[in-house]
Amino acid sequence: MKYYALGVQYDGTRYSGFQRQAETPTIQAELENALSSIAAEPIRVTASGRTDRGVHATQQVVSFGTPVERPDRAWVDGVNSQLPNTIQISWVREVTSKFNARFSALWRRYAYVYGLRTNYQVFVRDFVTWTDAYLDVERMRCAADLFIGEHDFSSFRASSCTSRTPYRRVYQLDVIRSGHFVVIDIVANAFLLHMVRNLAALLHQVGTNEFSSDDVQELLEARDRKLSPPTAPASGLYLTGAGYEEEFDIDSTVRIPAILGNIQQSFKPVTLPCDYYRRSIEP
């Protein structure tokens, strides 16, 4: 039996999320169909994060096992030839049976992108959340610091979220300005349903001076979703990476959406705290 990890990028605009669903287009279905075509047998994949409808990925990690032997090039070029142009494999790596893209992940990383409507660009309309407001990045950064650490994120989970616990541990949360774009960069052990989009919506209102840092603290402590702003649109959200133990040798480089230009240096490497330990929290 051979085991593989793949790096996948996709435009989620016209898909009903990553996870396979009956009678609706999904990223997982397209990937599994393409992989199965190359393997000439059914392939099922596991992903580092199950992105929602309309959410994009620049670095999704998936894993699968197969008794079929193919050269690495077949798992990249061959599979890409079977995929629509909205989904592409970036890299492949052979791994051991111990590796699972979901359960082996130490952290996941997302970026939420706001664009100033004064610089609206029609060709990237589905890849940014456009705002008429000028956002105060320093205010947003101060509020973002309140989410660092382990917290009950009940105020920021969707009502349909089925996670057994509302607790998540945020390792990094930064707000970056890049020209006419403002990017919210967040790293956590795992995320609740709509958690990133709900945090992005709140930080937007902090940036427009509708909420203060004190308001944010009160909202976090209230543990009541009804008190939070409406969920931000899916179009601005990207899964940009996932991290694993060194033994798996998986590329954990953050992949920045191309529309943001050359700002790679603005995204800090992920540093886990000294007291980090593995928790049995589902992604």
Residue 2 phi/psi, 5° resolution? -105, 145
Question: Buried b / exposed e across 219-239, counting CB within 10 Å, b at 16+?
Answer: bbeeeebeebbebbbbbbbbb
Angle at 220 between CA 218 and CA 223, to 5 degrees: 105
Residues 6+ apart with CB under 8 A from 272: 106, 107, 171
E strands, 73-180, are: 87-95, 107-116, 129-131, 149-152, 167-178
CA distance 12 to 239: 11
Which token pair is 197?
């989009």
Q: Is 52 noted as a catalytic residue in this protein? A: yes
Q: Which of 25, 4, 14, 3 shows the shortest CA–CA distance to 76?
A: 4
Q: Report the phi/psi class of residue 188: left, alpha or beta, with left for phi > 0 and alpha for psi in -120 to 50.
A: beta
Catalytic site residue from 52, 72, 145, 275: 52
What residues are paired with 175 via a beta bridge? 184
What residues are paired with 272 via a beta bridge? none
Q: Which of 26, 96, 22, 99 shows the shortest CA–CA distance to 62?
A: 99
CA distance 50 to 213: 30
* Residues designated as active site: 52
